[in-house]
Structure 1
Amino acid sequence: MNEILFLIHILLVILFLFVALRLGKNYLLVFAAILALIANLFVIKQIDLFTKTVTATDVFIIGAIFSQNLLQEYFGKEIAIKTIKITFFSMLFFLVMSKIHLLYIPSHLDTTHASFQNILSSSPRIIISSMVAFFLTQRLDIYFFSFLKKIFKAKYLPLRMGISSIVVQSIDTLLFSFLALWGIVDHIFDIILFSFIIKSLVIIFSASFMKLSKYFMKNENKNENENENEKIYE
């Protein structure tokens, strides 16, 4: 059952990704930031997938990276860098506000505080590790994706997105696992390996749809993309 839901989950994220692209770069920027936020919020829920226990956030993480790649592909490196800064600021604000929210003493009539406590009181080590890994790997993704765009002469978008995302996620998985989980969980290398396998499967499956992204571009955005591609070879 989880495997079927996982597939539907991927398809829905891809659908909303294309809708955001169609609406314009600001929508896609916000979409990327939202995906990163909910990935950090939902990371504490564990699910069984292909007989292994994993978190339910890999789809959101890959969706955020693909959103950033499409922003860079069609609107330029500057907007992709801006997206990282806005997303990181949003994550930091959410973290601080979550802690303040938990400090309020609940009313004797309140029945939700325990639930908020369970969801929002994640270990500071895990949260900080996630934010550090996100910021570093997203920056790396921008420069590596730009390098691949030059190598492939702005062709083969699905291949470029797939290669860039797999390389970056291998680093992200290692970085987050060692920063957040070292000394806490057993069999950390098994966790790293299976997490990377799941992310790679999501990337390969999702990247196959990215060729369709050009059909969701408005005409004025296509002109902006053509100007961006010309800059690559100047």
Structure 2
Amino acid sequence: MTEMLSLPDLSHASWNRSTFPPPTQGITEVAARERFGNCLSTFAAKPDLGPGRQQGSRLYVYRSGVIVTAPGDYVGAYAWETMRVLQYPPSVESGAGYRSCTLIDPHGNAVALGPGGLYLTRAARREYGITSAVQGSRILYPSEWGPYIQKAVAAAQLNPTLLRMARGETIDFGPLKADRIGLHDSEKSVAWQDIADFDLSHRTLTFNSPCMRPVLAATDTYKIVNIHLFLTLCRTLTP
């Protein structure tokens, strides 16, 4: 049965009460062009990054996506329906201690948000189809905007993904691929009906048979594209 997803109510979110400046006219024009709807909130970079370094960096959250500004006059628009996300958290499910993520648009333009770098080698960038990469800023409140982005992507993409699979397509989640038959990694395949459950621990994902034996090699969660969408898909299709 298809899992029904909806975005969380933001009316009581702590960052909804932020005092960050609203979108500029230029950002508003980008949002209108992308048909993102109204702006829900604005996140800014940490104020201790030094004069002129990243104070102008922003994460604008809209109804249908986000707009990111970064050093070097970078402006990127990422829609819930088409973006890919790589997440680097200690806890995928709770968002506790959320560190950073990389957003990738359909053209391969990537921007990293949060502390640290893109966490991607050249080979990994080729694997994920990244054609350009920008290091964003340490945007405040990552434990709030990070899980929200993942949930919004899952809500927007779950049903279209299921329809694509029903038409016989294989969906690429990075090291794991999914189709209407089951899951596949680089070495093995397993049918959905042969997956009893899956376990998230120590930043890895393991799939188990009814005998509680692993049926696929453990996978690092930070390598899985759109991890929340992927986990929701697994919950929907496993017995």
TM tier, smaller: under 0.3
In terms of fraction of residues, the more strand-rich structure is 2
Greater helix share, structure number: 1
Structure with more relative contact order (C-alpha pairs < 8 Å, separation 6 or more):
1
Tell me the TM-score normalized by structure 1: 0.25
